[in-house]
Amino acid sequence: PERQKKKNNQARKADVTTTVIIQKVTEDEKVSTVKELVSERLNIPANQQRLLYKGKALADEHRLSDYSIGPEAKLNLVIRPVGERTGASGTAASSSSSSSSCSSGSSSSSTHGGVWQTVSTILARHFSPADAAKVHEQLIKDYERSLRQLSLDDIERLAGRLLHPDGEGMDTSYMD
């Protein structure tokens, strides 16, 4: 019963699911600057973005340092559907698990946006937006760790099976 109540009050649609690494941001930058960088990267208008840090919405006119956001901080991005207004609490009906990081690095998850979008949509149905973001972020980390652990032999086997699903026309003697 309690879980059902929570489910009905949750976000109904999740949009963005990729991890975005923003390298140009300093603690003195305004939140609006981060939104512009996200807009450039993901083609999402800044007015549809809502950035959260530790579950708290960030105001455009404030600097990252006002929220004690440091170089390794991760921000959650919530996307508002076009034409949606925010309620009195300022929350939108769209949830996302994207992270914007003020540190340097790279991520391969942006190439899998469709899959991550589906995962995010499913998580949004079952968890609060903050919990869905945490679960989503952990899933991406686990997935990327699994990819990094693949050996060249593993990749060759996967490629062979994808290119020749019926096993015809390929040497399978090396396969387990």
Q: What number does CATH give the domain 2-163? A: 3.10.20.90
- Residues paired with residue 50 on neighbouring β-strands, in sequence order: 78
Kindly state the tokens that stand for 22. Answer: 């923003």
Q: Which of 62-71, 109-118, 137-146 has the lowest mean pLDDT?
A: 109-118
pLDDT, average across residues 16-43 = 78
pTM comes to 0.42
Q: How much is the pLDDT for 93?
A: 34
Task: Give pLDDT, residue 39.
Answer: 85
Residue 68 has pLDDT above 80, yes or no: yes
Q: Is the pLDDT of residue 96 over 50?
A: no
Measured between alpha carbons, how far is 126 from 129 in angstroms, rounded to an integer?
9
Q: Is the pLDDT of residue 116 over 50?
A: yes
User: Left, alpha or beta for 136 (phi > 0: left; psi -120 to 50: alpha)?
Assistant: alpha
Task: Using pLDDT thresholds of 50, 70 and 90, give the confidence band for residue 79.
Answer: confident
Q: Which residue shows structure tokens 């309620």?
A: 87
User: What average pLDDT does the segment 142-159 reach?
Assistant: 88
| Residue 120 three-state SS | helix
**75-89, 102-116, 119-133: least confident range:** 102-116
Domain ranges of the chain: 2-163
Q: Which amino acid is at 146?
A: S
Mean pLDDT, rounded, of the chain: 73
**155 has a pLDDT exceeding 50:** yes
The label of the residue with tokens 């800044």 reads 46
Task: Summarize the confidence of residues 143-155 as an average pLDDT.
Answer: 87
